[in-house]
Chain A
Amino acid sequence: MSAPAGIPRPSPARARKRRRMYAVLAGLTMIAIAVALVLTAFEDSIVFFYSPTDVVEKGVAPERRVRIGGLVKENSISKADDGLTTTFIVTDLSNTLRVSYTGILPDMFREGQGVVAEGKLSRSGVFLAAEVLAKHDETYMPREVADALKKSGQWRDPEKGHAK
């Protein structure tokens, strides 16, 4: 058991602890790598919605049920004569997609705000939404502050501020 003089040897208990520590670290690294590989491989299924750019680039097939999302373009909301069908343009600031939806929209649905729509791309290129969800951004402030910012011209438009 005695170590030769001059070469300090860790005690057996100490060596066991160190071995266990390496085992735990190695195990965690392996699991992290495995999970990272799985998540990268399934990225297309993990994303909750496609942006209009994804729709263009990935060529989402018509008549396939998908979710698309982005910001509702300013001055793009129009109501049809039946009073229930709304059409609007979803933009990710580089591409746009026209969406048509028949039904009641969530309270938070408004121009310049985020939106996620589930439905199908029609052959004419209009997205026919079966369900529309409002997407909230991460900004929280009282109404007076928002008004004051708008008045003083310091308002950061969500459409220009943090594009997603």
Chain B
Amino acid sequence: MQRFANPTRFMRMANAVLPWCAALTVVLIAAGLYLGLVRSPADYQQGETVRIMYVHVPSAWMALFIYASIAMASATALIWKHPLADLIARASAPVGAGFTLICLITGSLWGKPMWGTWWVWDARLTSVLILFFLYLGYIALNNAFDDPTRGARAAAVLALVGAVNLPIIKFSVDWWNTLHQPASLTRLDAPAIHSSMLWPLLAMAVGFTLFYVTVLIFRLRSEIVAAKIRNLRLVQIGG
């Protein structure tokens, strides 16, 4: 049982921060939605449609952030064989896929009134769609083997290969002509977004991040229990 010593200690810590994470998630997303959908002003060009941004942009950030976490956890699992790293990567994937889907759908809903089209095959939109398929492929590959460690290893390699897509998504709007506008926040001069719109956006972004942490702890808990059950079964069969 020494293999689980570390995860047990980790889970004790995770369980301690869980209620705080969950409470802050609710507070921040509620505040972000209220500020974004009710209190913040309409945009001078986009009108009320700008409010889609308060869901779309944080979802896009989470899609990238969670994939980066999966890639880093996968590298840790492949190199140092850390037992928790595989589980963290595995538990994160459906959350990231969900955020990517929300990002694609809200973007499409914004694109129709603003651009005049639901979808175009420009570099930004296409690379995010590829990210969504990478998530699905990762989940499928992870579950495609009878032996969970083999599935985890194959999926970890896929996660690392797919990580090449992350800088492409981020810089697609700078490297190529795209229909999608460039970044408003991460640029050399001041953010091109007024503070009355920036605060709800940041509240939503932190809220989404804590939501991810909360769900991750729940999912890790069940992954660890599942791994323990599997090991007990193996012991039973073996002896």
Nearest B residue (CB) for A35: B164
Write out the residue numbers on chain A whose beta carbons fall within 8 Å of the beta carbon of B42: 142-143
* A46 near B176: Cβ-Cβ < 8 Å: yes
Nearest A residue (CB) for B116: A106
* A140 near B194: Cβ-Cβ < 8 Å: yes
- Does B41 reach chain A (CB closer than 8 Å)? yes
* A142 near B116: Cβ-Cβ < 8 Å: no
* A142 near B78: Cβ-Cβ < 8 Å: no
- Does B113 reach chain A (CB closer than 8 Å)? yes
Beyond A140-B192, A143-B41, whether A48 also contacts B184 by CB under 8 A is: no
Interface size on B, residues (CB 8 A): 41
- Does B1 reach chain A (CB closer than 8 Å)? no
* A141 near B194: Cβ-Cβ < 8 Å: yes
* A139 near B193: Cβ-Cβ < 8 Å: yes
Nearest A residue (CB) for B183: A138
Write out the residue numbers on chain B whose beta carbons fall within 8 Å of the beta carbon of A27: 160
Nearest B residue (CB) for A43: B176
Write out the residue numbers on chain A whose beta carbons fall within 8 Å of the beta carbon of B164: 28, 31-32, 35
Write out the residue numbers on chain A whose beta carbons fall within 8 Å of the beta carbon of B187: 138
Write out the residue numbers on chain B whose beta carbons fall within 8 Å of the beta carbon of A116: 179
Beyond A48-B177, A51-B177, A145-B194, whether A20 also contacts B44 by CB under 8 A is: no
0/1 per residue, A104-145, Cβ < 8 Å to B?
A: 011110000100100000000000000111111111111111
Further pairs besides A48-B122, A131-B116: 11, Cβ < 8 Å: A24-B160, A27-B160, A31-B164, A47-B176, A48-B178, A135-B115, A136-B46, A138-B182, A140-B193, A141-B197, A145-B194
